Structures are given as C-alpha cells and as structure tokens.
Amino acid sequence: MSDTNYVTQETFEKMQAELHSLKSIDRPAASAAIAEAREKGDLKENAEYDAAKEAQGLLEAKINYLEGAMATARIIDESTIDTSRVSILTKVTVTNMNTKKTVTYQIVSESEADLKLGKISVISPIGSGLLGKVKGDIAEVTVPAGLLKFRIEEITV
C-alpha cells in the first residue's frame, strides 16, 4: 500500500462504516464461534475450533488493513480538483492509438480501483502513465503486453 491513500469523503465514510461493522458485529460473532467450538471438547482434534480461529485471524487482518488505510487516508474534495491535468480522482477519456478505441477511466486510490466500473489505480501502469498529462498529450504506457499509446481526449471530475 502506498504512503498516502487518496479517497473521497464518500469512500472514507464507507470505510468507517465497514470498520465499525467488523468491530461491533463480526468480531463478537467470531469470539462466540470460538467459545462454542471450545465447548465441544478436545481442541487438538476439533476442526470447528481451528476453522473459527482461522476466521478470527482473517477478520483481525481485515480490521488492521482498514485501520491502516484510514490512518493514511487523505480526503480529497472533488470541487477543488484541477481538470487541466490528469490527477487522482479525475476522469480521463483516452483513445488507444493502436486500436482507435476510446475509453474513460477514473484515476483512484488502490483501495477504490475497480476496472468493471472504469476506476483504475493511480499506481497501475496505465494510471501512473496518464498522471500529469494534459488534453491532447500522447501518453506512452509500458504494460506487460508491451507499449500502449493513449491520446488524452478529455479530463473531467
């Protein structure tokens, strides 16, 4: 994870709600599952106990991840975003110079990335290759499949 996690206010609130749910609902449920499995006898041969302990470990890891992400979060106000250049939280319409296909991506933090929704991570090859470009620029991006060239068509919020 990068040092700073850029998020919108909406995403930060979702993270807070998820963390609250994990701590107030899921954590007590995991403890109850462990207690119930413990009552069933010998812990050495108790698969239910082992599964409950593993689930609790995964839950704690998720809680720690969210706490870390929130601790490094920097909330960005969408109304102050400069659309003269590609930056985090901007939507950029690009034309692939090889295929002539036009696509719109939103540049987001790694925790918000979802290609199905057109959101790409600021640290992905395409995301980082587009950063700082202005309308009309050609961005050359090296991806595992080779070199891609994108022409910046439009930058919006």
Q: What is the pLDDT of residue 129?
A: 92
Structure tokens at 40: 């069933």
This prediction has a pTM of 0.68
Q: Which residues of 11-38 are buried (b: 16+ CB within 10 A; e: fewer)?
A: bbeebeeebeebeeebeeebeebbeebe
Cα–Cα distance, 86 to 107 (Å, whole number): 8
Structure tokens at 38: 């413990």
Sign of CA dihedral 73, 91, 95, 136: negative
CATH 1.10.287.180 given to domain 5-75? yes
Cα–Cα distance, 17 to 137 (Å, whole number): 40
* pLDDT, tens digit, 9 for 90 and up, residues 15-72: 999 999 999 999 999 999 888 888 877 767 778 888 888 999 999 999 999 999 889 8
Q: Where along the chain do its domains lie?
A: 5-75, 79-156
Q: What is the pLDDT of residue 2?
A: 52
Q: Choose the CATH number for 79-156 among 2.40.50.100, 3.40.50.970, 3.10.50.30, 2.30.110.10.
A: 3.10.50.30
* pLDDT, tens digit, 9 for 90 and up, residues 90-102: 999 999 998 999 9
Structure tokens at 152: 């910046």
CB 132, CB 115: distance < 8 Å: no
